[in-house]
Chain A
Amino acid sequence: MPAEPRGAGGGASSPRIPALRIGIDVGGTNTDAVLMAGESVQAVHKTATTPDVTGGIGCAIDGLQQQRRFDPAAIAAVMIGTTHFTNAVVEGRRLAETAAIRLCLPATRGLPPFTDWPEPLRAALGGHVFLCHGGREFDGRSISPLDAAEVEAAAREIVSRGIRTVAITSVFAPVDPDDERRAAAIVSAAAPGVAISCSHEIGRVGLLERENATILNAALRDVADHITSALTEAVSRAGIRAPVYISQNDGTLMSVEACRRYPVATFASGPTNSMRGAALLSGESDCVVVDVGGTTTDVGALVHGFPREAAVAIAVGGVRTNFRMPDLVSFGLGGGSRVHRRDGGPRIGPDSVGYELTSRALVFGGETLTATDLAVAGGRCVIGDPARVAGLDRELVRSGLELIQARVAELVDRVRTGPDPVPVVLVGGGSVLLGSELAGAARVIRPAHFAVANAIGAAIAQVGGETDTVVSLADQSRERAVAAAKHDAVERAVAAGARASTVAIVEVEEIPLAYLPSNAVRIRVKAVGTLELTAAVPCDA
């Protein structure tokens, strides 16, 4: 079964003609674009990423136009995945001075906001900290009542310091976000024009990690304004009036407006898009995806069409966060990996010629032996001039390709989620290195358009909603608590733009809290549904 039996195109005004969509993935090296009608790929385009955001997107859309003419008015939606925000944090550039308000007193003073941050990043944000009363216990009781005057005084101080963006984090906000909402209202009244990020809309249980993410989100305010405007402008310059959506790291979409307010949700959306695209192209919803690029290979598991998430804290730019990130294993093997001859068999990677593949590899007339040269010599693909590698030592080629195959098989085994052999889907430009026999694979699938799986993943993304709460089962049944959490998750998915009739619960996780006799349990629920496409116009085809 395809991962998405209900294509988003099903929401078009005419059910017989699927709406046209454009998916664009702006990566660090390449920008990939794809034009889709429902789930069918109409045109693809790959180009180098440019510093000029608007120009880069415009160029990608032009590229699609050249392959297959379409009426811009027929486009129902444009979905964009971007690494701009991750890079802004990693490079520490253009981040806004940010005030961190924590509603917590008298608890949590021992570890104030910005604890364990890299000093340059903390300094870039100014390190403005305001600890106020408020926050909750695990069961929703108040730690102390919110003090409106105290929050208002903080807001006035923030204005006087010229700070224009604020992160508000309340203890146990995932259990009860009320204090954050009230504080946000007070700040916005006392400091009009200040942008506010609230932690309950950003992260899950884990105060420091959620607060870190909220602070990063607030600091990205200017970058978010700039990038979202540039993206919107590029799309409208191309004559497209359809709504623009941005990919989140959990494989679902948000509106441009939501992205402007919550840019951190885009972190690590690239690998997610790639895996989701692989699911659609292959028709597999439970499988292992191997994404081979020029320098690295990412391997991850798809469960019910979505990447399995990592359990551990993920650091972005040296700051610990608890984002929903795909659980990937990565290693240094790609099409550009250098092959080193040694006694006892070759070594491949982790060093790579990267984007210089087309000048330095043997098949392109260069001097460097790369993994691609082995693949061509071994007959796995035809790239460049095969005659240039015809004289390679057969034993070297055979053992090199075997090594690549064994390494990938090992990683497939590490990420697969069940004891039985699983389907393995190969995507990414470098996947031509791999043969069709993989230990532990039920079958190996090489879908069409494998090189632009990430842009396809962006184009087909759904919308979702999530709840994550700690509840006490002392005075309510487990069933009732789970039902309430499911209900909240579905409501959030609909609020995010999902058509109500398509929303389904995709994940329910219960973790009993240790060392407690009161029978408390943490419940996480995720719901997703098909994006409601209201602006659809039948395509010209």
Chain B
Amino acid sequence: MRRLIGEGELADLAQGAAVLGTGGGGPPYLGMLLARRAVHECGPVSLVSLDELADDACCADVAMMGAPTVLLEKVPSGEEPLRALEALERAHRRTVTHIVCGEAGGVNSMVPVVAAARRGLPMVDADGIGRAFPELQMMMPTLYGITAAPLAITDERGNTGVLRTVDNRWTERIARAITVELGCNASIASYLMTGAQARQALVPRTLTLCLELGEAIRCARAAHRDPVAAVIERLGGRRLFHGRVTDVDRRTVFGFARGHALMRGVGEWADTELRLEFQNEHLVARRDGELVASVPDLIIVLQEATAEPVTTEELRYGLRVEVVGAACDPRWRSQAGLAVAGPRAFGYDHEFVPVAAGGPHLGGASWRA
């Protein structure tokens, strides 16, 4: 089924992307404003499913790289995503036919919409992760040997560079350093791949999932039903905890905001404590010492009653939250997947434990289909 992303869909898309952001990924609000303007001026963007994609389609990921807090102040000029895309096309001597969303969680759900609307190209209803991750190589295409490079990077001034690197980790390191020099905010185009590769290496239907999550929250609020339950139902997730934040400890390690929050349970969870480790995203949850969820599965912190997603930066004493766990794409749980984005890839010394006892709890077929 073909769907259009027009002005009316963007708020739901942003809300769903904030849920999949699992505490990080940058605030979708500014991205939504940019996308709204692009769609308003250039018309809606059509969404193409992976099944519909021709084998020889030429797909590219367009995204922003940098610090969310900087993005709040130095907002984009709007044409950077397009300039990055054009530089990528020149580097490959190819013309891109479909825009890919690399990261459905957070602001990067919106940046591809800007590029797609302005170029009049369709978007693929999929993404490269199925959530938010902090580094460029933490993408499903990495598991399939698809290289991020050549990667085009640009700023609002028009400085543009193309990286030809030896592997995706090096692409991340060099692109990150350039981003800092450009003012901690850059636009990138990368991961050029064929339609056949995209079908294999992307996480399907995640933009539709974002739209559905946003819609589920909106409708539940309007009908005075529990929006947290609506999120859990839509994700096929599990309620891990309900409580209030009693302590937050933040520190900066190697330039990343690391820390943990302690929560004291209420209601069904009274007399239990949850310890949440975060590192840009919410990564590990232990309830009374027992590991109940861990990266790469999704740990989603929602404000009680409103289901407004809570970012790692917004965690603070006294906040009443519900913590939801949801299964990641099963490929992240493979040996190769865990090597790229498992607990040890984030410096945690424990094995991956799936979010649901008794094996993966992969909700709705639509999550995978």
Q: Are B176 and A414 in contact (CB under 8 A)?
A: no
Q: Are B72 and A206 in contact (CB under 8 A)?
A: yes
Least CB separation from A327: chain B residue: B318
* A418 CA to B264 CA, complexed, in Å: 11
Q: Chain A contacts of B320 at CB under 8 A?
A: 414
Q: Are B67 and A520 in contact (CB under 8 A)?
A: yes
Q: Chain B contacts of A267 at CB under 8 A?
A: none
* A207 CA to B156 CA, complexed, in Å: 16
Q: Are B252 and A311 in contact (CB under 8 A)?
A: no
A207-B73 in contact given A512-B252, A513-B257 (Cβ < 8 Å): yes
Q: Are A519 and B318 in contact (CB under 8 A)?
A: no
Least CB separation from B320: chain A residue: A414
Interface membership of A79, Cβ < 8 A: no
* A33 CA to B134 CA, complexed, in Å: 55
Interface membership of A137, Cβ < 8 A: yes
Least CB separation from B251: chain A residue: A512
Stretch at the interface among A13-21, A48-56, A102-110, A377-385: A102-110
Please report the number of residue pairs spanning A and B whose Cβ atoms sit closer than 8 angstroms: 137
Residues of chain B in range 176-235 having any CB-CB distance to chain A below 8 Å: 176-177, 180, 183-184
- The CB with the most chain B CB atoms within 10 A, among A109, A171, A514, is that of A514
Interface membership of A172, Cβ < 8 A: yes
Q: Are A171 and B257 in contact (CB under 8 A)?
A: no
Interface bits B112-124 vs A (CB < 8 Å: 1, else 0): 0000000000000
A108-B75 in contact given A205-B69, A414-B320 (Cβ < 8 Å): yes
User: What is the minimal beta-carbon distance from A70 to any residue of chain B, in angstroms?
Assistant: 43
Residues of chain B in range 239-273 having any CB-CB distance to chain A below 8 Å: 246, 250-252, 254-257, 264
Residues of chain A in range 80-98 having any CB-CB distance to chain B below 8 Å: none
A516-B255 in contact given A107-B74, A111-B75 (Cβ < 8 Å): yes
Q: Which residue from A106, A419, A510 sits with its C-beta under 8 Å from B156?
A: A106
* A280 CA to B251 CA, complexed, in Å: 36
Interface membership of B325, Cβ < 8 A: no
Interface bits B72-99 vs A (CB < 8 Å: 1, else 0): 1111111100000000000000000000
* A106 CA to B182 CA, complexed, in Å: 13
Least CB separation from A312: chain B residue: B314
Q: Chain A contacts of B184 at CB under 8 A?
A: 137-138, 513, 516, 518, 520
Q: Are B254 and A515 in contact (CB under 8 A)?
A: no
Least CB separation from B317: chain A residue: A417
* A205 CA to B75 CA, complexed, in Å: 12
- Number of B residues near A (Cβ < 8 Å) is 45
Q: Which residue from B75, B251, B256 sits with its C-beta under 8 Å from A207?
A: B75
Q: Are B250 and A511 in contact (CB under 8 A)?
A: yes
Interface membership of A347, Cβ < 8 A: no
Q: Are A110 and B72 in contact (CB under 8 A)?
A: no
Q: Chain A contacts of B251 at CB under 8 A?
A: 512
Q: Give the interface SS of chain A, mostly helix, strand, loop or mixed.
A: loop
Least CB separation from B76: chain A residue: A110
* A111 CA to B256 CA, complexed, in Å: 28
- Number of A residues near B (Cβ < 8 Å) is 43
User: What is the minimal beta-carbon distance from B311 to any residue of chain A, in angstroms?
Assistant: 9
- The CB with the most chain B CB atoms within 10 A, among A111, A301, A418, A521, is that of A111
A110-B67 in contact given A143-B183, A207-B75, A419-B264 (Cβ < 8 Å): no
* A144 CA to B157 CA, complexed, in Å: 9
Residues of chain A in range 509-541 having any CB-CB distance to chain B below 8 Å: 510-522
Q: Are A514 and B74 in contact (CB under 8 A)?
A: no
User: What is the minimal beta-carbon distance from B271 to any residue of chain A, in angstroms?
Assistant: 13
Q: Are B68 and A514 in contact (CB under 8 A)?
A: yes
User: What is the minimal beta-carbon distance from B260 to any residue of chain A, in angstroms?
Assistant: 14
Least CB separation from B264: chain A residue: A419
* A461 CA to B67 CA, complexed, in Å: 38
- The CB with the most chain A CB atoms within 10 A, among B134, B156, B177, B313, is that of B156
Interface membership of B169, Cβ < 8 A: no
User: What is the minimal beta-carbon distance from B344 to any residue of chain A, in angstroms?
Assistant: 21
Interface membership of A116, Cβ < 8 A: yes
* A464 CA to B106 CA, complexed, in Å: 36
Q: Are A514 and B312 in contact (CB under 8 A)?
A: yes
Q: Chain B contacts of A516 at CB under 8 A?
A: 66-67, 70, 180, 184, 255
Q: Are A138 and B74 in contact (CB under 8 A)?
A: yes
- The CB with the most chain B CB atoms within 10 A, among A205, A206, A415, A517, is that of A517
Interface membership of A208, Cβ < 8 A: yes
A515-B33 in contact given A106-B77, A108-B76 (Cβ < 8 Å): no
Residues of chain A in range 413-428 having any CB-CB distance to chain B below 8 Å: 414-419
Interface bits B141-175 vs A (CB < 8 Å: 1, else 0): 00000000000000011100000000000000000
A137-B67 in contact given A106-B158, A116-B33, A311-B316 (Cβ < 8 Å): no
Q: Are A515 and B280 in contact (CB under 8 A)?
A: yes
Q: Are A515 and B66 in contact (CB under 8 A)?
A: yes
User: What is the minimal beta-carbon distance from B199 to any residue of chain A, in angstroms?
Assistant: 30
User: What is the minimal beta-carbon distance from B346 to any residue of chain A, in angstroms?
Assistant: 14
* A285 CA to B324 CA, complexed, in Å: 36
* A110 CA to B180 CA, complexed, in Å: 21
Q: Chain A contacts of B338 at CB under 8 A?
A: none
User: What is the minimal beta-carbon distance from A441 to any residue of chain B, in angstroms?
Assistant: 16
Q: Chain A contacts of B79 at CB under 8 A?
A: 109-110
Interface membership of B53, Cβ < 8 A: no
Q: Are B74 and A171 in contact (CB under 8 A)?
A: yes
Q: Are A115 and B77 in contact (CB under 8 A)?
A: no
User: What is the minimal beta-carbon distance from A416 to any residue of chain B, in angstroms?
Assistant: 7
Q: Chain B contacts of A143 at CB under 8 A?
A: 74, 156-157, 183
Interface bits A486-526 vs B (CB < 8 Å: 1, else 0): 00000000000000000000000011111111111110000
Residues of chain B in range 10-57 having any CB-CB distance to chain A below 8 Å: 24, 30, 33-34, 37
Query: What are 10 A-B residue pairs whose CB atoms fall within 8 Å in the complex?
Result: A107-B77, A110-B37, A111-B34, A115-B33, A301-B318, A414-B320, A419-B246, A516-B67, A516-B70, A520-B67
List 9 additional A-B contacts (Cβ < 8 Å) besides A106-B158, A416-B318.
A107-B156, A108-B76, A109-B79, A109-B156, A110-B37, A137-B183, A470-B69, A515-B134, A518-B180
